Amino acid sequence: MKSGSRWWARAVAGALWVLVLPAWAGAEAELRTMLGQMLLVGFRGTEVTEGSPILRDIQAFHIGGVILFDRDVLSGGGRNILSPAQVHKLTASLQAAASIPLFIGVDQEGGRVRRLREEHGFLALPSAWEMGQGTEAATRRWGERTGAMLADVGINLDFAPVVDVAVDPQSPAIGALGRSFAADPQTVARHALAFAQGLRSQGVLACLKHFPGHGSARTDSHLGITDVTATWSPAELIPYARILPTDAAPCVMTGHLFVRTIDPRAPATLSAPIITGLLRQKLGFDGVVISDDLQMRAITDHFGLEEAAVRAVAAGVDMLLVGNNLQYDPDVVPRVVQALEAAVAAGRLSPQRITSSWRRIMRLKAELPAGGRGTEPRTRLED
């Protein structure tokens, strides 16, 4: 064992945990494996080929998961999704390359935000706003249909439902796109819970977003700083308070939002008062916290990717989402892992901070169908 690995093993010895889990989940891991598991990464390609960066990232850096997109933002062409059969083959190939099962995620909210589209042979899905006009039973049914469709092609994580409250119906990233269920937080909570339960019934993980609430934002964090200090209210936490005590949604995605009354210095993704203080301590959430895409300009224009990754982990984020689509770098995984390793060596990130995320990630992966692989074809629900 290398000297650095020996140091790490000694440092985390007191933090190791024992659960009745698959062998890959309970084994002691070296630092690089733990850090790799904290990454969810986008990539180019509709198949896995020898020499592709994503194959290296899975095998050498042990990334925790991937995110699939239908469109490549920079080229304007396709990216990962052509048809149900192709996506199933892709996800199976990705899982076959991994020593620890991957989270394979997608934004399948419905309406404007859906990566699996009808023109590629997938089920059409109404927007959250449209679902919110109907019954909770109907919304749950849409969650079940979505979950069955995702599970059929080996996708085990949906970055949905959106639990942002439509405080401003013209909010450019939420209300104007129909991504919120309602302007009333209780209605949002009921429909989001129903959709998440529908996903979960099909073995697909739900991820609530965007904490602590994007629905009043007058700007889009894809494009720059988003400050909701003057418009955000604690009522936007009602959906989280209602849903998190259930087992319907084991993941929460942070927003790149400034709420300066809670933290005057950092957006939510990089804020310990918001993630550790508000989400973990006040709301009691001990599931997996996932950042929104760290390549959005709200982050990259002000912090840079590597520094943002370190700050996010220090604040309490468990998994760093790097879509690798708004920008593209085939070596983004080595860059981020090396930045995190340097932060550990410098004492900016403690062994306990890393192992707590490792524990949450492994615990959640152990709940996935098929031992975490989640790639067995499932019977599609009747429409």
Residues identified as active-site: 222, 292
Cα 254 off chain centre by? 9
Q: How many residues does the chain have?
A: 383
CA–CA distance, 98 with 333 (Å, rounded to integer): 15
CB atoms within 10 A of CB 332: 23
How far is Cα 241 from Cα 283, in angstroms, rounded to an integer? 6
- List, in order, residues 6 or more apart from 220 with CB less than 8 Å away: 172, 173, 226
HSE-CB of 10 using CA atoms within 13 angstroms: 6
Is-contact 249 196, C-beta < 8 A? yes
Q: What one-letter code names the amino acid at 284?
A: G
Extract the tokens encoding 132. Answer: 């919110």
Burial class (CB in 10 A: 0-12, 13-18, 19+), 346: exposed
CA 333/CA 61 separation, integer angstroms: 8
